Amino acid sequence: MAMTMTQKILAAHAGLGSVKAGDLILAGLDLVLGNDITSPVAIREFAKFGKDSVFDKNKVTMVMDHFVPNKDIKAAEQCRMCRDFCDDKDITHFFDVGEMGIEHALLPEKGLVTAGDLVIGADSHTCTYGALGAFSTGVGSTDMACGMAIGKAWFKVPSAMKIVLTGRLGRYVSGKDVILHIIGKIGVDGALYKSMEFTGEGLSSLSMADRLCIANMAVEAGAKNGIFEVDDITLSYIREHGAAQPVIYSADPDAVYDEVINIDLSEIEPTVAFPHLPGNARTFSEIGDIKIDQVVIGSCTNGRLEDLRIAAEILKGRKIAKNVRTIIIPATQRIYLEAMEEGLLRIFIEAGAVVSTPTCGPCLGGYMGILAAGEKAVATTNRNFVGRMGHVDSEVYLASPATAAASAVTGRISDPREVIGV
Amino acid sequence: MKYTGNIIKYGDNVDTDVIIPARYLNTSDHAELASHCMEDLDKTFVSRVQQGDIITAGWNFGCGSSREHAPIAIKASGISLVIAKSFARIFYRNAINIGLAIVECPEAADGISEGDKVEADLDSGMIRDLTTGKEYRTAPFPEFVQRIIENGGLMEAVAKGIIK
Ligand code: SF4
C-alpha cells in the first residue's frame, strides 16, 4: 500500500514493510529529548523501570532552557535533578548554562538530528526537526521515560495533509507569515492527529530557518508532525552541522492524503495572529491601530541568526518607540556569538533593546519579560493563549521578526514594509 | 472500567496553559499542581471539584504544551474522567500514559449539562446521563491502549515487561 513520507519513516523504525493510518505501532527511536520542566517528571517515571542505565547514552539528550539560568529555587532544584541524572547515567548530550540554547534551535545546530530520523521530545515543539526530513514529535514525560528505558515509543500512524508550495516569498515576508497564514486557514485543530507534509517547487526558495519555523508551529494546527521533503538545502544544512548520514524517504506518488492545500508563497502577506489563538490570523488591511507595550524577538520559532539579521536590518539607525520594552533573545550561544560578530547586538542595544542570554523566558511566561494586566506584546514566539506571557488580562500578538522589529519602532503593530518604506 | 460523577463543563480549545499555568511548572508535586488546576480559566474549579467528578469539554481539549503536569493536575484534583469532542494529541497520549481516563464523544459533550450525574463504562463504550436518562455510545479503546491503562500506566507496563 502506498505510504506518505511520515508513514515510511514510521514503518522503517517499527521494522515493518508497510503501515497504514490508524495502525498502532511500537517504533525504535534515534533520539529522546527532554528539558528542565519535563525531564524531572520523566526521571521520576524512569525510576519505576528499575534499571541503572538508559537504552543508549548517546541517544538521550536534556536541554536546560525554560527557566535557565535558574529563575528561582524550585527551578534550580529541577535542573539539579536533571544534572545529577545525566551525570549518573553518563549522558553524552546534556546541555546546561554556557552550552545550552533553546532546545529546538540547539539540536539541529549541534547536528544531533538528520534526515530519516525518528525523534521524540518531551516538548510539544519537537516537531521542529521535520524541517530536516525527520519524523519528530512532541510527547509527554512518561513517553520520554519509556524512550530512555527501552528506546521505543508507541504511535498511532497518522494520516496526512499535503501542503504544496509554489512561488517565492516577497520582501519582509518569512516562514512565520506562511505558517500563521496556514493555521489561520485550517484552524488550531485543522491538522489534528495528522502529519503536515510540505512539498512543491516553492520549497527551493525557503531557507532552513524558514522551514524550521514552519515545522515548529505544525503543532499549533494540532498536527502530530510537520515534515519537509529533503532537497539540496536540507542536505547541505545537515552536512554543515556534522549530522549523521541522512536517509531520504519520500512519499509514494500515489500516497493518500486527507486533504491537499495549495499555497502560493508570493501571495503571502505579513501576518499577525491575534489573541488568544495562533489561528486568529490577520493581515494588515484588517489590523488597525494597536498600541503595544512590549516586543519579544526570540524563541525556538524565531530566535535564529536569520531572524536576528532581519530584525537588525529594520532597527539599524532607528530608535525603539518610548515605553516599548524590546527583548531580543538569540536562541543559542552560537547564534549569540555570531550576532555579536556581525554587529547585530550593537544595533539592538543602540536602538534601545535589551539582549539576553538564550532562554525560553518570556515565551511561556516564565520570567524575563512578564506582562502586567492590560498590556500587549508583539512576539515572534508560537503561542498566544490566555496568560501565556503573564497576567491573564494581557495579550500576545504573534508575528515575524520583521513585523516585531517594525512594531518596536512605531510602538504600534506595524507592517515592516511600511516602516522600511518598500 | 466504570466511572460515575457529576459534570463540570467547559468549551472548546481548553489549553494546557489554563489547565496548569507555566508559573507553577517549577514543581512536579501532584497536590500542588492540583491546587492550581484550571486557575486561569475557572477560579472556582479547585474549590468546587469533588472526588470522582467528570469534565466534559468541546473540541481540541488539552491543546498547547506537552506538559504532563496538565493531566496530572486534573487527575490529582479528583477528576475521574474527561469526555471531550476531541483531544489534542499529546494530551491524549499523556492521559493514557499516566492512567487518566478520557473519551471522545461529541454527542455526549454537547448533550450533557453542567451538574448532571453521569455514568460511563469505557469497556462497553456506554455513557449514561443519569439526570436526563439520555445515553451515548463511543468506541472502546484499542487493545494496546487498554493494556497500558489496565497496568496503571505506560511505565508500569514497561517495568512488567509487557511492553519491551
Ligand atoms: S521557546 Fe517557547 S515554545 Fe520554544 S521550547 Fe521554549 S517555551 Fe517552548
- Residue B152 predicted with pLDDT over 90: no
Which residue among A102, A107, A216, A398 is best mutated to probe the pocket of ligand 1, counting the most ligand atoms within 8 A of its Cβ?
Answer: A102
> A421: which strand partners?
none
User: Considering the domain boundaries, does residue B33 fall inside one?
Assistant: yes
Q: What residue ranges in A139-258 does DSSP mark as E strands? A: 152-156, 160-166, 195-199, 225-228
CATH number at A59 reads: 3.30.499.10
Q: Does A278 lie in the same domain as A248?
A: no
Q: Does A55 touch chain B (CB under 8 A)?
A: no
Q: Does A284 lie in the same domain as A229?
A: no
| B28 vs A contacts (CB less than 8 Å) | 40-41, 44, 78
Cα–Cα distance measured from residue A418 to residue A173, given in angstroms and rounded to the nearest whole number? 13
| Residue of A142, A189, A388 to mutate for B, most B C-beta atoms under 10 A | A142
- Per DSSP, the residues of chain B read -EEEEEEEE--S--BHHHHS-GGGTT---HHHHHTTTTTTT-TTHHHH--TT-EEEE-TTBTBS---THHHHHHHHTT--EEEES-B-HHHHHHHHHHT-EEEE-HHHHHH--TT-EEEEETTTTEEEETTT--EEE-PPPPHHHHHHHHTTSHHHHHHTTS--
> A356: which strand partners?
none
Looking at A265, A287, A317, which one is the last position of a domain?
A: A265
Ligand 1 pocket at CB < 6 A: A 66, 102-104, 123, 125, 299-300, 360, 363-364, 381-382
What is the arithmetic mean of pLDDT over B135-155?
Answer: 85
Q: Does B126 touch chain A (CB under 8 A)?
A: no
User: Considering the domain boundaries, does residue B164 fall inside one?
Assistant: no
Cα–Cα distance measured from residue B136 to residue B120, given in angstroms and rounded to the nearest whole number? 9
A380: left (phi over 0), alpha (psi -120 to 50) or beta: alpha
Q: Does A224 touch chain B (CB under 8 A)?
A: yes
User: Considering the domain boundaries, does residue B76 fall inside one?
Assistant: yes
Identify the CA nearest to A359 among candidates A42, A139, A105: A105
CATH number at B18 reads: 3.20.19.10
Edge-to-edge strand list for the sheet holding A93-95: A93-95, A60-63, A31-35, A118-121, A135-138
C-alpha distance from A243 to closest chain B C-alpha (Å): 26
- pLDDT at A124 (0 to 100): 95
Cα–Cα distance measured from residue A45 to residue A144, given in angstroms and rounded to the nearest whole number? 9
- pLDDT at B145 (0 to 100): 83
User: Considering the domain boundaries, does residue B99 fall inside one?
Assistant: yes
Q: What is the pTM of this model?
A: 0.94
User: Considering the domain boundaries, does residue B119 fall inside one?
Assistant: yes
- Per DSSP, the residues of A303-317 read -SHHHHHHHHHHHTT
Contact A117, A129 (CB under 8 A): yes
- pLDDT at A256 (0 to 100): 96
Helical axes A208-216 vs A305-315, angle rounded to 10°: 100
The H-or-E segment that residue A398 falls in is strand A395-398
> What are B62-80's pLDDT values in tens digits?
998 889 999 999 999 999 9
Q: Does A162 lie in the same domain as A60?
A: yes
Identify the CA nearest to A154 among candidates A29, A1, A7, A5: A29
Q: Does A350 lie in the same domain as A324?
A: yes
Task: Return the SS3 of A224.
Answer: coil
- pLDDT at B139 (0 to 100): 84
Q: How far is CA B93 from the centre of its chain?
A: 11
Contact A275, A292 (CB under 8 A): no
Q: How far is CA A99 from the centre of its chain?
A: 19
- pLDDT at B124 (0 to 100): 86
Q: What percent of chain A has pLDDT over 90?
A: 98
Q: Does A180 lie in the same domain as A48?
A: yes
Facing residue for A366 by CB, picked from B22, B27, B144: B22
- pLDDT at A169 (0 to 100): 98
What is the arithmetic mean of pLDDT over A88-99?
Answer: 98
What is the arithmetic mean of pLDDT over A162-186?
Answer: 98
Mean pLDDT of chain A: 97
CA of A364 to the centre of ligand 1 (A): 7
- Residue A14 predicted with pLDDT over 80: yes
Size of interface A-B (CB pairs under 8 A): 141
> What are A34-46's pLDDT values in tens digits?
999 999 999 999 9
Alpha carbons within 13 A on the beta-carbon side of A105: 31
Q: How far apart are the first and last CA of chain B?
A: 25
- How many domains is chain B built from? 1
CA of A123 to the centre of ligand 1 (A): 8
- Residue B141 predicted with pLDDT over 80: no
Burial of A192 (0-12, 13-18, 19+ CB in 10 A): buried
Task: Return the SS3 of A152.
Answer: strand
Name the residue range of residue A168's domain: 5-265
Contact B54, B118 (CB under 8 A): yes
- pLDDT at B146 (0 to 100): 78
Q: How far is CA A93 from the centre of its chain?
A: 19
Q: Does A299 lie in the same domain as A233?
A: no
Looking at A239, A265, A291, which one is the last position of a domain?
A: A265
Cα–Cα distance measured from residue B72 to residue A382, given in angstroms and rounded to the nearest whole number? 24
- pLDDT at A87 (0 to 100): 98
ipTM: 0.90
> What are A383-413's pLDDT values in tens digits?
999 999 999 999 999 999 999 999 999 999 9
Alpha carbons within 13 A on the beta-carbon side of B50: 8
Identify the CA nearest to B3 among candidates B102, B94, B71, B143: B102
Name the residue range of residue B86's domain: 2-159
**A260: which residues sit within 8 A by CB, 6+ positions away?**
A161, A162, A163, A164
Q: Does A227 lie in the same domain as A314?
A: no
- How many domains is chain A built from? 2
Q: Does A306 lie in the same domain as A215?
A: no
User: Considering the domain boundaries, does residue B30 fall inside one?
Assistant: yes
> What are B85-125's pLDDT values in tens digits?
999 999 999 999 998 989 999 999 999 999 999 999 988 88
Buried b (16+ CB within 10 A) or exposed e, A335-363: bbebbeeeebbebbeebbbebbbbbbbbb
- Residue B149 predicted with pLDDT over 80: no
C-alpha distance from B67 to closest chain A C-alpha (Å): 6
